[in-house]
Amino acid sequence: MPVILPVNGLSPQFGENCFIAPNATIVGDVIIGNDCSIWFNAVVRGDVNSIRIGNKVNIQDGAVIHCTYQKTKVHLGNNVSIGHNAIVHGCKVNDNVLIGMGAIIMDNCEIGSNTIIAAGAVVTEGTVVPPGCIFAGVPAKKVKDISQELISGEIDRIANNYLMYSSWFK
């Protein structure tokens, strides 16, 4: 069974048609939208501040979503994929974003819509990533504008696949 716990009287809330893996951990002030999936060993820790997750969001295996006490919150828009072992900390991620495997997004960042953060990228504190681009590297920098083919071929495809994958476990 997943670990789902209240913290200071605030319990996680879930939308419709969500899959929560049996060893995922979700605690505290967390609100999750519809058609979301929280995968194996993922941690969504709303113990020190709030985490808001839109619709059709997948948080893949080993990813960590967390905040900074009394300073930063996490907001994930709709149609967002958080890759395996990524860390998303105290930031805002707008709609239609793919955060690659092992990427790190630090406090007070904002990731624009229709954007890809490459695997292994480190988006340093306070970085504003404009919409419609690919950021990569350490520290992450813009490498190019994103094409419509990448939006539909990667961002949408992965979000749709994870919705399908989650249906296998229901």
pLDDT of 64 above 90: yes
Q: CATH code at 107?
A: 2.160.10.10
Q: Which two tokens stand for residue 8?
A: 């200071």
Q: What predicted TM-score, i.e. pTM, was given to this entire model? A: 0.97
Query: Using 50, 70 and 90 to split pLDDT, how confident is the model at 148?
Result: confident
Q: Which residues have CB under 8 Å from 130's CB, separation 6+? A: 112, 115, 142
Long-range contacts, 13-18 (Cβ 8 Å, 24+): 15/55, 18/166
Longest C-alpha distance within the chain, in Å? 45
CA-CA-CA-CA torsion for 146, 125, 96, 21, nearest 10 degrees?
130
Specify the number of domains making up the chain.
Answer: 1
CA-CA-CA-CA torsion for 57, 164, 96, 1, nearest 10 degrees?
10
Give residue 118's pLDDT: 98
Q: Name beta bridge partners: 144.
A: 134
16-20, 31-35, 127-131, 151-155: lowest mean pLDDT where? 151-155
pLDDT of 122 above 90: yes
Of the chain, the percentage scoring pLDDT greater than 90 comes to 95
Burial 77-96 (b: 16+ CB within 10 A, else e): bbbbbbbbbbbbbbbbbbbb
pLDDT of 55 above 90: yes
Domain with 106 in it: 3-167
Give residue 144's pLDDT: 95
Give residue 120's pLDDT: 98
pLDDT of 152 above 90: no
